[in-house]
């Protein structure tokens, strides 16, 4: 469904991504893990059209979207839940969800506001409150719910577990897994490697702008190098 | 008589609010200081005046001025701001290029008007005076107040109650997040600048009718006033611009009525100065003085 070939990206001349290739098949849930500054957000922003790659191609269902404007990409159903949630704090919770419908741009919705409310009851209870008054976890629910309102064909999530208590992290991952079960294709960026590998089918490991490992999540979570560097078990085996 | 002067001040202040609102809107949503906003007011006054001179009825002239103001403002956004937007360092660039746009529009108006001071023909607006509880209220004043209130109410409705207004507020809050949600920011810029210019165009006609002098430099004192009003109300705050505009008109009118004329500006700006000492972010301002930098 999504195919990145040899993507390179840079910020004012400094390379952040080198020759990254990655695919996501329809119905899959794929993880992209890596340490701080590895280039995970840069990669998602390339896909979303916010950062223009200097070389390489990005195909969404066979159409090259590497030079398409970012709002057009979102309107085509490739929706990103950005790092730090980026909800609109001055708008109400309901307005944030309604704003999510912008991406529909004529396409049929796949989730109604009631379905999103059922999934995250707190968004219903707090619908007329300023979104900025929600807790971090609730804001993450809002950010995900808002993306669902735009009928995603492929959902990109940038560190949805960031700054959440363990119980909430679990809840977010459970939700994503449930969404994936209903057929939603997901690309999940995480630093929280263990949890991400637990809930996904396949994974990529990004290190300093390069893919250094890829494969089935189950297999990767037993790879000695991944164990050492990303699952915190390797201090003694170096 | 005080009540009379307060009424006069409120009416003039309403027009100041209307004009400052457009300036504040562009700043609040896009963090752009549009220093060509005064020229848009002047353009509105010119369009209104020349339409009347061509024999069009005043309401038509008003509508043309509103549309013309909106289009000129959009043109400024296209030529002076949009090209700078992708360069990253657009903040000071935008200030300079809008000064340039201002000068160009003013020069064109100077050519058209032969550097003359013009006025609406006598009785363009019927002179009707009502006496209400001892206060004189002219039909023109009523018209000005109704226009100002109606346009401000329409703006608030648009921003707070419509789908497009919601997208505008989203871009004001976080442009990148809005884009990721599928909002086309170019359309939002277009809308903001059009509305801002339309309000300035309407203000230009109202000011031309009320003060009876239309000339190529007429926008300049109003630009300065709008700037002061926005700082007083809190940069980017819509309610702030409305309240501060009324206050500004009132202080100005009272000062003209009761104090030597030469002191008017000194009184206005020292009053604002004193208010800002007490409330450094303005009456309705939130963020600290660094909004221009920090909200980018
Ligand atoms: N806007 C920017 N301008 C300049 N350099 C940037 C910018 N954004 C990211 N970088 C640099 O690009 C590299 C990759 O950053 P990126 O944000 O993609 O990493 P990340 O994997 O998402 O990290 P984190 O886990 O901390 O979010 C880093 O070296 C970072 O400093
Ligand atoms: Mg990141």
Q: Give me the percent of chain B exceeding a pLDDT of 70.
A: 96
Number of the ligand 1 atom closest to the C-alpha atom of A38: 21
| Residue to substitute in A17, A38, A84 for testing ligand 1 pocket (most ligand atoms within 8 angstroms of CB) | A38
Compute, in angstroms, the gap from residue A37 CA to the centroid of ligand 1: 5
Contact A109/B at CB under 8 A: no
Q: Any bridge partners for residue A186, and if so which?
A: A29, A155
Q: What is the mean pLDDT of chain B?
A: 92
- Give yes or no: residues A125 and A9 share one domain: no
- Give yes or no: residues A57 and A131 share one domain: no
For position B110, what pLDDT does the model report? Answer: 97
Helix, strand, or coil (residue A49): coil
Q: State the pLDDT confidence band at A227, using cuts at 50, 70 and 90.
A: confident
Domain with A190 in it: 1-83+184-233
Note whether residue A157 is domain-resident.
no
- Give yes or no: residues A52 and A72 share one domain: yes
Note whether residue A161 is domain-resident.
no
Note whether residue A49 is domain-resident.
yes
Note whether residue A169 is domain-resident.
no
Mark yes or no for CB contact A86/B179 under 8 Å: no
Find out whether the beta carbon of A41 lies less than 6 Å from any atom of ligand 1: yes
Rounded average pLDDT over B266-293: 78
pLDDT of B291 > 80? The answer is no
Q: State the pLDDT confidence band at A121, using cuts at 50, 70 and 90.
A: very high
- Give yes or no: residues A72 and A110 share one domain: no
Helical spans, DSSP H, in A83-158: 93-100, 113-119, 121-125, 136-148
Among B166, B169, B184, the residue with its CB nearest the CB of A71 is: B184
Note whether residue A160 is domain-resident.
no
E strands present in A26-179? 29-33, 55-60, 63-64, 78-81, 154-158
Q: Identify all chain B residues contacting A78, using CB atoms and an 8 Å cutoff.
A: none
Q: Give me the percent of chain B exceeding a pLDDT of 90.
A: 82
Rounded average pLDDT over B250-268: 92
- Give yes or no: residues A18 and A133 share one domain: no
The CA distance from A126 to B120, in Å, is 55
Among B163, B170, B181, the residue with its CB nearest the CB of A150 is: B181
Contact A157/B at CB under 8 A: no
For position B89, what pLDDT does the model report? Answer: 67
For position A233, what pLDDT does the model report? Answer: 57
Find out whether the beta carbon of A37 lies less than 6 Å from any atom of ligand 1: yes
pLDDT of B296 > 70? The answer is no
B141-166 confidence digits (pLDDT tens): 999 999 999 999 999 999 999 999 99
Taking the CA of residue B178 and the nearest CA in chain A, the distance in Å comes to 8
Question: Mean pLDDT lowest for which of B180-189, B227-236, B283-292?
Answer: B283-292
Chain length of chain B: 296
Report ipTM (2 d.p.): 0.93
**Nearest chain B residue to A82, by CA:** B177
Q: Which domains does chain B have, with CATH numbers?
A: 2-116+133-295 (1.10.3470)
Mark yes or no for CB contact A98/B174 under 8 Å: no
Rounded average pLDDT over A123-148: 96
B61-112 confidence digits (pLDDT tens): 999 999 999 999 999 999 999 999 877 666 788 999 999 999 999 999 999 9
Note whether residue A199 is domain-resident.
yes
A27 near A198, Cβ under 8 Å?
no
A150-181 confidence digits (pLDDT tens): 999 999 999 999 989 999 999 999 999 999 99
* CATH number of domain containing A10: 3.40.50.300
Mark yes or no for CB contact A102/B185 under 8 Å: no
A79-91 confidence digits (pLDDT tens): 999 999 999 999 9
Rounded average pLDDT over A200-226: 92
Q: Any bridge partners for residue A24, and if so which?
A: A2
Chain length of chain A: 238
- Give yes or no: residues A1 and A78 share one domain: yes
Note whether residue A166 is domain-resident.
no
How many domains does chain A divide into? Answer: 2
Q: State the pLDDT confidence band at B288, using cuts at 50, 70 and 90.
A: very low
Note whether residue A100 is domain-resident.
yes
Instruction: Find where tokens 């709002």 sit.
Output: A71
- Give yes or no: residues A137 and A199 share one domain: no
User: Rounded to 5 degrees, what are φ and ψ at A76?
Assistant: -85, 0
* DSSP structure string for B230-285: HHHH-TT-HHHHHHHHHHHHHHHHHHHHHS-GGGHHHHHHHHHHHHHHH-TT-SS-
B211-232 confidence digits (pLDDT tens): 989 999 999 999 999 999 999 9
Rounded average pLDDT over A86-110: 96
Q: Identify all chain A residues contacting B167, using CB atoms and an 8 Å cutoff.
A: 99, 102
For position B123, what pLDDT does the model report? Answer: 86
Taking the CA of residue B206 and the nearest CA in chain A, the distance in Å comes to 34
Taking the CA of residue A89 and the nearest CA in chain B, the distance in Å comes to 8
């Amino acid at each position: 469904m999504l195919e990145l070939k040899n993507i390179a990206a840079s910020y004012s001349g400094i390379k952040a991504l080198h020759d990254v290739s990655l695919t996501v098949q329809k119905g899959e849930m794929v993880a992209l893990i890596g340490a701080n500054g590895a280039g995970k957000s840069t990669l998602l922003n390339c896909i979303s059209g916010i950062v223009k790659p200097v070389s390489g191609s990005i195909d969404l269902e066979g159409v090259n979207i590497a030079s398409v404007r970012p709002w057009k990409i979102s309107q085509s159903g490739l929706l990103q839940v950005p790092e730090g949630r980026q909800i609109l704090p001055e708008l109400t919770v309901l307005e944030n969800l309604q704003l999510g419908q912008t991406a529909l741009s004529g396409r049929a919705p796949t989730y109604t506001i009631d379905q999103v409310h059922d999934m995250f009851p707190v968004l219903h209870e707090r619908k007329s409150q300023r979104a900025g008054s929600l807790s971090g976890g609730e804001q993450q629910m809002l950010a995900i719910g808002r993306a669902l309102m735009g009928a995603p064909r492929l959902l990109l999530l940038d560190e949805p577990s960031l700054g959440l208590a363990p119980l909430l992290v679990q809840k977010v991952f459970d939700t994503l897994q449930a969404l994936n079960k209903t057929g939603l294709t997901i690309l999940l960026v995480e630093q929280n490697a263990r949890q991400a590998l637990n809930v996904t089918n396949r994974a990529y490991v990004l290190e300093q702008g390069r893919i250094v490992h890829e494969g089935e999540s189950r297999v990767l979570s037993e790879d000695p190098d991944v164990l050492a560097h990303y699952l915190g078990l390797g201090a003694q085996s170096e | 008589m005080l009540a009379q002067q307060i009424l006069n001040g409120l009416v003039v202040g309403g027009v100041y609010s209307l004009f400052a609102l457009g300036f504040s809107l562009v700043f609040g949503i896009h963090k752009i200081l549009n220093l060509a906003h005064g020229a848009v007011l002047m353009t509105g006054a010119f369009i209104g005046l020349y339409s009347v001179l061509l024999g069009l009825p005043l309401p038509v002239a008003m509508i043309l001025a509103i549309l013309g103001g909106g289009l000129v403002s959009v043109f400024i956004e296209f030529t002076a701001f949009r090209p700078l937007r992708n360069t990253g360092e657009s903040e000071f660039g935008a200030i300079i290029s809008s000064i340039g746009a201002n000068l160009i529009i003013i020069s064109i108006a100077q050519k058209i008007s032969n550097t003359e001071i013009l006025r609406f023909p006598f009785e363009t607006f019927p002179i009707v005076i009502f006496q209400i509880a001892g206060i004189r209220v002219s039909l023109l004043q009523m018209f000005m107040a109704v226009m100002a209130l109606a346009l401000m109410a329409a703006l608030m409705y648009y921003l707070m109650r419509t789908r497009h207004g919601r997208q505008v507020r989203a871009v004001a809050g976080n442009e990148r997040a809005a884009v990721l949600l599928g909002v086309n920011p170019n359309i939002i810029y277009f809308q903001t600048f059009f509305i801002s210019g339309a309000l300035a165009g309407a203000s230009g006609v109202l000011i031309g009718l009320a003060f009876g002098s239309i000339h190529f430099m007429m926008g300049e004192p109003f630009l300065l006033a709008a700037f002061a009003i926005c700082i007083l109300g809190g940069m980017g705050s819509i309610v702030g611009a409305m309240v501060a505009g009324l206050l500004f008109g009132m202080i100005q009118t009272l000062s003209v009525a009761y104090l030597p004329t030469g002191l008017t500006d000194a009184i206005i700006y020292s009053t604002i100065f004193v208010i800002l000492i007490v409330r450094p972010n303005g009456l309705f301002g939130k963020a600290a003085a660094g909004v221009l930098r920090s909200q980018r």
